[in-house]
């Protein structure tokens, strides 16, 4: 009897182990097939050759991308393609403290001014990123800024930088990434030097100072990881709503939410209904919304480039179909325009060593299925012209 039971038990264990091996073997294959089916079923046909900036403009939207002085000043072909596709530009790094503040008493506007002139010469709008952030702070910051002088240092920076570009800016990311529920605070705020020195009021102070320095610019609170149906991102959406409600209740001049939109292909559950509800809740506060740093990490995608590109385009399609349906959304910017210039290659490389392809144009500035997905999304978007 005992022998028979242990034989059956043994058999079960082997079967179980076999199943695990099978699952481990089958799962990637199923994912592969799933991805191929997803890629194949999508329709990315686009009418005409109009650039994205014109397709967005035709619906009362604004389209553009991030780039840098280094990229545009040294790559004339890219500069031309950029100006063709983009109606607005945001500097990747040139308007952060690290680039603008070589020392506690000095400001360096060289790169920012070059980009402002580039935008003006090419009929593009300009937006600023970012006045207050816990990253990209200059090396002298830690030794020179403290509880006693932080407010004066912050207000001087905002008055000088926003004042310098006053009247030239479409919008400013006044405060960037101030939310991190994982830090355990009841208000969900991230523990940053600004919070440590000035308390939660640093956000209100920053917006009031920006409104004074440039009354024309749209003042934006910008944040990331708000897009997917995960407990972490749900917690972030709740914390961002709480922050925005608080700012509005205190009549702090925040006018828009910037949703960065760093997306992931086939890594996290996307729930259109939940994202639609979040966008509507933000709009319900009387705020505008911009997608400020859109790109699609493709490190988990398998298959050849043609399949990968269609999968990345599918992520753009699903996301923009939801986002552009919300009338409070006024614009979309990619964080980069061509796969030749993207932060993702350095930060989220592919295991197979192949180049990442997160953006609408490829390494040679050719339009990809992602470009087609964005063009279709703008062409199919409800017009804002009629409603405004
Ligand atoms: O320019 C210096 C160069 O002189 C030096 O040799 C080199 C090596 O240290 O560093 C170069 O500066 C780098 C800069 O990018 C320019 O490429 C900084 O180290 C590096 O930290 C900086 O990274 C930027 C990062 O923000 C931090 O500011 C990325 O380019 C930029 O894409 C990234 O953008 C952020 C947004 O601001 C906020 N949302 C997420 C997004 C991606 O992380």
Active site residues: 177, 293
What residues contact residue 335 under an 8 Å CB cut-off, 6+ apart? Answer: 65, 66, 92, 260, 262, 292, 293, 294, 295, 342, 343
Task: Give the Å distances, CA to CA, from 311 to 48, 82, 179, 275, 316.
Answer: 23, 24, 30, 20, 9
Per-residue pLDDT of 185-200, as tens digits, reads: 999 999 999 999 999 9
Residue 129: CB atoms within 10 A of its CB come to: 25
pLDDT tens sequence across 228-273: 999 999 999 999 999 999 999 999 999 999 999 999 987 789 999 9
User: What ligand 1 atom has the least distance to the C-alpha of 262?
Assistant: 40
Task: Output the residue whose Cα is nearest ligand 1's atom 36.
Answer: 92
Q: Which of 190, 188, 162, 164 is nearest to 176 (CA)?
A: 190
Contact 368, 85 (CB under 8 A): no
pTM of the model: 0.94
CA of 17 to the centre of ligand 1 (A): 46
Euclidean distance between CA atoms 35 and 272, whole angstroms: 19
Dist. CA 287–CA 304, nearest whole Å: 42
Cα 324 to averaged position of ligand 1 atoms, centre (Å): 29
User: Percentages helix, strand, coil for the chain, rounded to the nearest 5?
Assistant: 50, 15, 35
Between the CA of 90 and the centroid of ligand 1 the distance, in Å, is 14
Ligand 1 atom nearest the C-alpha of 336 is 32
CB contact at 8 A, 153 and 131: no
How far apart, in whole angstroms, are the C-alpha atoms of residue 109 and residue 292?
Answer: 22
Residues with CB under 6 A from ligand 1: 92-93, 96, 135-136, 224, 260, 293, 343
86-131 residue pLDDT tens: 999 999 999 999 999 999 999 999 999 999 999 999 999 999 999 9
């Amino acid at each position: 009897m005992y022998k028979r039971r242990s034989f059956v038990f043994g058999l079960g264990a082997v079967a179980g182990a076999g199943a695990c091996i099978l699952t481990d073997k089958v799962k990637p294959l199923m994912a592969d097939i799933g991805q191929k089916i997803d890629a194949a079923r999508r329709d990315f046909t686009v009418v005409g050759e109009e650039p994205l900036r014109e397709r967005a403009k035709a619906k009362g939207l604004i389209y553009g991308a991030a780039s840098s002085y280094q990229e545009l000043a040294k790559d004339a072909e890219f500069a031309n393609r950029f100006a063709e596709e983009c109606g607005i530009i945001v500097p990747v790094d040139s308007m952060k403290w690290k680039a603008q503040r070589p020392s506690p008493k000095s400001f360096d506007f060289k790169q920012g001014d070059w980009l402002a002139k580039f935008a003006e010469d090419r009929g593009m709008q300009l937006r600023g990123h970012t006045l207050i952030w816990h990253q990209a702070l200059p090396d002298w910051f830690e030794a020179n800024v403290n509880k006693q002088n932080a407010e004066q240092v912050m207000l001087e920076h905002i008055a000088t930088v926003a004042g310098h570009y006053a009247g030239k800016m479409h919008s400013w990311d006044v405060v960037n990434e101030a939310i991190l529920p994982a830090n355990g605070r009841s208000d969900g705020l991230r523990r940053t030097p600004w919070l440590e020195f000035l308390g939660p009021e640093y956000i209100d102070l920053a917006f009031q100072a920006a409104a004074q320095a440039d009354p024309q610019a749209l003042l934006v609170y910008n944040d990331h990881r708000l897009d997917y149906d995960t407990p972490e991102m749900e917690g972030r959406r709740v914390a961002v709503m709480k922050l925005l409600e608080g700012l509005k209740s205190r009549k702090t001049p925040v006018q828009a939410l910037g949703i960065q939109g760093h997306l992931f292909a086939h890594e996290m559950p996307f729930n259109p209904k939940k994202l639609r509800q979040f966008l509507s809740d933000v709009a319900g506060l009387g705020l505008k919304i911009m997608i400020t740093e859109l790109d699609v990490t493709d490190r988990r995608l398998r298959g050849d480039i043609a399949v990968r590109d269609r999968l990345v385009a599918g992520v753009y399609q699903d996301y923009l179909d939801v986002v552009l349906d919300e009338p409070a959304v006024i614009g979309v910017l990619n964080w980069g325009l061509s796969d030749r210039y993207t932060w993702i290659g350095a930060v989220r490389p592919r295991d197979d060593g192949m180049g990442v392809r997160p953006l609408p144009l490829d390494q040679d500035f050719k339009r990809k299925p992602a470009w087609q997905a964005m063009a279709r999304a703008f062409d199919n978007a409800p017009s804002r012209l009629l409603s405004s």
